[in-house]
Amino acid sequence: MQGKQKLIDDILSSAKKTASAMIAEAEAEQTRELENLRKELDAAQAESLKLAQKSADDYYSGQVKLGDLEAGKTLLRAKQACVSAVYDGVREKILSAPDSEYLALLQKLITDVCEDGDEVIAAKSDGKRVNAAWIKKVNAAAKKKLVLSKEQGDFAGGVILRNARYDRDLSVDEIIAELKDRTIAETVKRLGL
């Protein structure tokens, strides 16, 4: 678990740096947009004052609010991209981990939830790593009888455990989705968003 936390902390640290740069860029864009909008609004106000002061004030106020809303949307999109980058980074870190770390993670996930007789469906990309010899090790660790399926899954990495009653999705994408559900608030906080 220490290694997993260190991996997450390293990724979060890296993502925080990236997030800061992205936020700074978004804030600069926001400032430019507001300056341009304010210039356009000032010109529109001067013209409108000739016709009716109240009409110009209403138009200016509405446009500033609209500009603020658009700038807020831009900033929100940048923040969402930062958060997504964190979890994409975690996903890539898992998928590119050395075999020993990757298989240790899969073994832990499988042994925590497997049932006797489960069929292990490995991702196509894991065909060489998740093999019969490795399944024997997992069987010994889990003290269960698991069988490696000849079927390979069309997902990025991880496994699916199948039995007569249900399938358990332990694919990397599902693991990341579950991690995101549990940690998104903390991630946003740590990124300072």
Could you give phi then psi for residue 123, rounded to 5 degrees? -65, 150
pTM beyond 0.75, yes or no: no
Angle of helix 53-95 versus helix 99-113 axis, rounded to 10: 100
Return the higher-pLDDT residue of 34 and 145: 145
| pLDDT value at residue 183 | 87
| pLDDT value at residue 84 | 85
| pLDDT value at residue 62 | 77
Mean pLDDT across 53-75: 75
| pLDDT value at residue 119 | 95
Residue-wise burial string across 131-159, b where 16 or more C-beta atoms lie within 10 A, e elsewhere: eeebbeebbeebeeebebbeeebebbbbb
Which pair of structure tokens corresponds to residue 168? Answer: 């358990």
Q: What is the DSSP-derived secondary structure letter of residue 143? A: T
Q: Name the average pLDDT for the chain.
A: 83
CA distance 114 to 107: 10
| pLDDT value at residue 49 | 58
Return the higher-pLDDT residue of 23 and 88: 88
CA distance 129 to 100: 9
Return the higher-pLDDT residue of 49 and 2: 2
| Neighbour-count burial of 16, counting CB atoms closer than 10 A to its CB (0-12 exposed, 13-18 middle, 19+ buried) | middle
The pLDDT confidence band at residue 190, using thresholds 50, 70 and 90, is confident
What's the one-letter identity of residue 150? K
**If you count DSSP H runs as helices and E runs as strands, how many of each does the chain have, helices first?**
5, 4
The pLDDT confidence band at residue 51, using thresholds 50, 70 and 90, is low
